[in-house]
Copies of this chain bind each other. A is one copy, B any other.
Amino acid sequence: MTTHCALIARAFGASEMYYCGNEDDKLISTINKINNSWGGEFTLRYVSKWRPLLKKYKKENYFVILCTMYGENIPNLESQLRKKFKTSNILIVIGSEKIPSELFDFTDINIAISNQPHSEVAALAIILDRIYGGKQLKFNFKNSKIDIIPKKKGKKAVYSL
C-alpha cells in the first residue's frame, strides 16, 4: 500500500514523501528505480517518528492537510485548496484506518474524499488532482529513460538508454 501511495505521490506532482511504521529498504529501492527509468526528482524517506516531522513543517508554515473520511468533503474546499497552493507549501498526511487523534493538533484541516470508507491511495490522488486542477496528469518528468507513446490499444514506449 505504501508503494502505491509513493507511486501516486510521484506521478501526481508531490516533491517528496515520508513514511513511518516499519522501515522497508525494498520500498525505497523500488522508488529509486522508478525515478531512474521514468525521471523526475521525487524523493521517498523513512522517518521513525511523525511528531518531529509535523512540528518542523508546522513551524515552516506549511498548510497541513489531514485526510480522513471524517473531514469536510472536498467539493466544498476545492477553491480554498487552489488558493492555498498559490501562497503556501502543502503537506498532506494520510494513514491507514486508525488515525491517532493527536494528529488533529498538528493539522490545519481535515479533508474527506467523500464521507464514505475509502482508500488513502485514492484520497491522495483526488487531493493532488484538485490542488493541481487536473494539470498533474500532463506533467513532464525530466531525465526519463522511458517515455510512453500513448495508444488506445496495445503498448508502445521509447527507451533512451
Contacts and interface: CB of A to CB of B under 8 A. Distances in A.
A155 B113 CA distance: 15
By secondary structure, the A interface counts as mixed
Given A119-B4, A121-B121, A129-B126, A72 B114 contact: no
Interface in A12-40: 12, 34, 38
Interface string A121-161: 11011100100001011110100000110111111110000
A145 B53 CA distance: 37
A7 B107 CA distance: 25
A150 B7 contact: no
Copies of the protein in its oligomer: 2
Nearest to A6: B119
A118 interface: yes
Interface of A: 1, 4-5, 7-8, 10-12, 34, 38, 68-75, 101, 104, 107, 109-110, 112-119, 121-122, 124-126, 129, 134, 136-139, 141, 147-148, 150-157
